[in-house]
Amino acid sequence: MNFRKIVSLFIALAFLVLAITGILSYLQAYSRPIASLHTVFGGLFVLGVLFHLSNNLKALMRYSKAKYILPIAGTVAMVFLGAMYGVNPISSLMDYGSKLKAKSVSKVGQNNYLVLEMGHEKEIKLDIDLLRAEHYWHPQMAIWTEDTEGNYLETIFVSKATAKGLFFGGRTKENFKTFDEKQKSRGEYRRVNALPVWAHKRGVSNADGMYAPSSRNPLPDAITGATLDDSFKLYTSVAYSKAFVLRLELNVAFDDNEYYSEYDFPDDATFHNGTGQLGQPSIIFETKIEIKKEKEHYLMKLVGHGHHSGQTGELYTDLSTLTTAKELVERIVVGVEHGTLEHHIVENK
């Protein structure tokens, strides 16, 4: 068997595995073995294609001069841009896949998922389904809504330690994962950098000028909960609006890297004095929900990170300095139920 035949068979087998794993990834909830197979065989497929190009370079050069090369290149460019910017029908295709994933995950038992129910009295019912990733570890979290102009509307959920401004002192990078069994001191030990985008959007400043809640002005129990230390599904509701943006911010302590370490930001006392629990900044996911559409499931996208020590509420879209912080979540799917809201829609037309 000559080298050309070996390359052709190699590419064909790699393509077969890619096709199967690609279809499974589209139809089913995230599976690490499937994702690993798809990634590895994707690399092998690229390697095989490179050998194929070297074997057929002269023929490909002739093909590139044919009159139909421009329509082919134009079609490829249109599909690429459509996928990049979420243009229909590609956007609808991905939305349908998200819906299938959400239905698949909803069958997972409570042994694998935390299930929370809170605040069902408002008009629009939401179920927020988060699947954790490798570096998800007892994060602080806030979930809230904004209008389409970016104005804060309401908080849906916030971790109790942040909401009450009460953290345990004594945690370090070395004992963080085992410290819960050795809690000795508790007081107003605030992580002012934990959720700065949410805190500044909420807009309630404290005596020290920081926006993280304090024990003197805690948030109500109705929107607070224990740290969500595993994948979860949150059933909740929000006030009626034709369109709004749902945001989720989370942060893990002591996940420092080469950009956010004890050697960085030497003039930022907040980052180094313990109240920040030194590490990478918070990450923010969002999705826009439009009630007038028939769409029932939305996939939240990672859109940026917060300030490293919580000094501002700015959303930074450059994620190049983040490492493990980008591996906290596999995906977040939001289900929306608004079947009883026809009268709201009619009245507001």
Average pLDDT over residues 332-347: 65
Residue 285 phi, psi (nearest 5): -110, 150
Angle, helices 32-55/3-27, rounded to nearest 10 degrees: 150
Report yes or no: 328 and 321 within 8 Å, Cβ to Cβ.
no
- The pairing of strands 283-290 and 301-305 is antiparallel
Domain range summary for the chain, segments of one domain joined by +: 3-94, 106-347
- Per-residue H/E/C for 143-200: EEEECCCCCEEEEEEEEHHHHHCCEECCCCCCCCCCHHHHCCCEECCCCCCCCHHHHH
Q: Is 162 exposed, middle or buried (0-12, 13-18, 19+ CB in 10 A)?
A: buried
Q: Is 250 exposed, middle or buried (0-12, 13-18, 19+ CB in 10 A)?
A: buried
Q: Using alpha carbons, select from 323, 141, 159 the residue that is nearest to residue 250.
A: 141
**Cα–Cα distance measured from residue 204 to residue 211, given in angstroms and rounded to the nearest whole number:** 6
Q: How many Å is the Cα radius of gyration of the chain?
A: 24
Q: Give the amino acid at 226.
A: A
What are 222-240's pLDDT values in tens digits? Answer: 899 888 989 999 999 999 8
pLDDT, position 308:
93
**Cα–Cα distance measured from residue 95 to residue 262, given in angstroms and rounded to the nearest whole number:** 42
pLDDT, position 277:
67
Q: Using alpha carbons, select from 228, 260, 58 the residue that is nearest to residue 157.
A: 228
What are 251-292's pLDDT values in tens digits? Answer: 998 898 999 988 899 898 888 775 656 789 999 999 999 887
Q: Is 249 exposed, middle or buried (0-12, 13-18, 19+ CB in 10 A)?
A: buried
Average pLDDT, the chain: 81
Q: Using alpha carbons, select from 274, 140, 152, 167 the residue that is nearest to residue 204.
A: 152
Report yes or no: 171 and 277 within 8 Å, Cβ to Cβ.
yes
Average pLDDT over residues 325-347: 73
**Cα–Cα distance measured from residue 130 to residue 283, given in angstroms and rounded to the nearest whole number:** 14
81 band by pLDDT with thresholds 50, 70 and 90: confident
Q: Using DSSP, state whether 335 is helix, strand or coil.
A: strand
Report yes or no: 22 and 6 within 8 Å, Cβ to Cβ.
no
Please determine, for residue 332, whether its predicted confidence score (pLDDT) is greater than 50.
Answer: yes
Q: Count CB-CB contacts under 10 A for residue 79.
A: 12
**Sole residue written with tokens 């404290």:** 206
Average pLDDT over residues 86-113: 62
Please determine, for residue 146, whether its predicted confidence score (pLDDT) is greater than 90.
Answer: yes
Please determine, for residue 45, whether its predicted confidence score (pLDDT) is greater than 80.
Answer: yes
Strand partners, 244: 289
Report yes or no: 25 and 104 within 8 Å, Cβ to Cβ.
no
Q: Using DSSP, state whether 115 is helix, strand or coil.
A: strand
Report yes or no: 281 and 310 within 8 Å, Cβ to Cβ.
no
Does the predicted TM-score (pTM) go above 0.75? no
